Amino acid sequence: DKTHFHQLLEKCPLQRMWHELYASSDFERRAKEIQEFNRSNRWRKRGIAQLPTKFGISFTAKFFNQAGALVNVYTDGTVLITHGGTEMGQGLHTKILQIAAKALNVPMSAVTFRETGTDTVPNSSPTAASASSDIYGMAILNACEQIMGRLKPYLEKAKGDFKSAVNTAYFDRCDLSAHGFYATPGIGYDWSLPDDQRGKPFNYFTYGAACSEVEIDVLTGDMRILRADLHMDVGNSLNPAIDIGQVEGAFTQGFGWATLEETVWGCSEFPWLKPGVCMTRGPGTYKIPSFNDTPVDMRVTLVKDSANPNAIHSSRAVGEPPFFLGSSAFFAAREAIAAARKDAGAGDDYFTVDLPLTPERIRMACGDPIASKFSEKSSRPRPSLFV
């Protein structure tokens, strides 16, 4: 299989993931139960939806796909590492620390960080595109392998004792520091060439699938996610705890984007909004997900037996790829709205709902006599009414 830009999909487990999710989420049984629930409840409706995602990993600007790192080994056997990535709570430092400890065959307690700085690792690429663990992990590995290559004869004499080998190497005037570098190979895209010769913009893809079940209040437009089943292919996970947290966080951001977060600008069409002024300038009006918005039941599965040869230790990136899975809540809510409209006499007529699917939009889309007095036939995007 190929993408629309002619990149070959290598080692794509998406079809397997789709069927595994359909079975593990018990989609068929739950869909029947939802139909029965909707028949029995006029003012509360439920919906369920399942969707896949595919996310390309690499900076599309080729020159960003490079990384540097610095590893210093001290005579007491401790290690100080620095790389060009920025830790912002995503667990990057933890993964890099694990990679260094494994490469040097030392306990993680022996490895410490010096915070990112251009005085130690210059010309760093942005910590973005979900590629930081990939490129900085490989740069750290490159530096560690240089040091281990120098230490090999000393480790053999010391029977693998790292501290003893390092101490001996120091007195033998062996360099115990190394600068690591990595440039993602085989990527680049040239629009001037024929379609099948343009190259590959992404190093690989990360895949996922989600199934969400939601319940809406027809009278208020309130929505809650009852259950979310998330399957993510992260290859051989560097740290499952971090990766599961990233999946949960990205899903939460995704359904916030799809159902809550709306930027509203005033215009002359709406006299209660001052023209040209952004009305959603803070958390009071720009709604982001809160504890009450997270799924009542969230189940994350990291796909097994899906090693990725194109990244550090056969892993896959996980930061942004799960984001789109949050839109499964949008499509589930649309199913719930369709059930409400059917009860209101709208039948199976096609209807349009806009992103984000806010409570106002849910309420106005339900098609009952009260909402119909104020709703418009136009399908073009409109701001929510009650900002």
Residues with a known catalytic role: 320
* Cβ-contact 217, 45 below 8 angstroms: no
Contacting residues for 233 by C-beta, under 8 A, at least 6 apart: 13, 14, 17, 206, 207, 208, 302, 303, 306, 316
The identity of residue 210, as a single letter, is A
- Measure the CA–CA gap between 58 and 232, rounded to whole angstroms: 18
- Measure the CA–CA gap between 79 and 104, rounded to whole angstroms: 9
Place of tokens 């397997």: 16
Beta-bridge partners for 68: 181
* Cβ-contact 234, 91 below 8 angstroms: no
The tokens for 247 are 């999946």
Residue 184, helix vs strand vs coil? coil
- Measure the CA–CA gap between 179 and 199, rounded to whole angstroms: 30
* Cβ-contact 308, 236 below 8 angstroms: yes
* Cβ-contact 321, 182 below 8 angstroms: no
- Measure the CA–CA gap between 75 and 80, rounded to whole angstroms: 12
The identity of residue 357, as a single letter, is L
* Cβ-contact 216, 45 below 8 angstroms: yes
* Cα 9 to Cα 2, 169, 319, distances in angstroms: 6, 46, 20
Beta carbons within 10 angstroms of residue 158's beta carbon: 17
Residue 376, helix vs strand vs coil? coil
Provide the b/e sequence for 182-209 (b: ≥16 CB within 10 Å): bebeebebeeeeeeeebebbbbbbbbbb
- Measure the CA–CA gap between 301 and 276, rounded to whole angstroms: 45
The tokens for 254 are 């995704």
Place of tokens 């803070």: 282
| Beta strands at 111-113 and 177-183: parallel, antiparallel or unpaired | unpaired
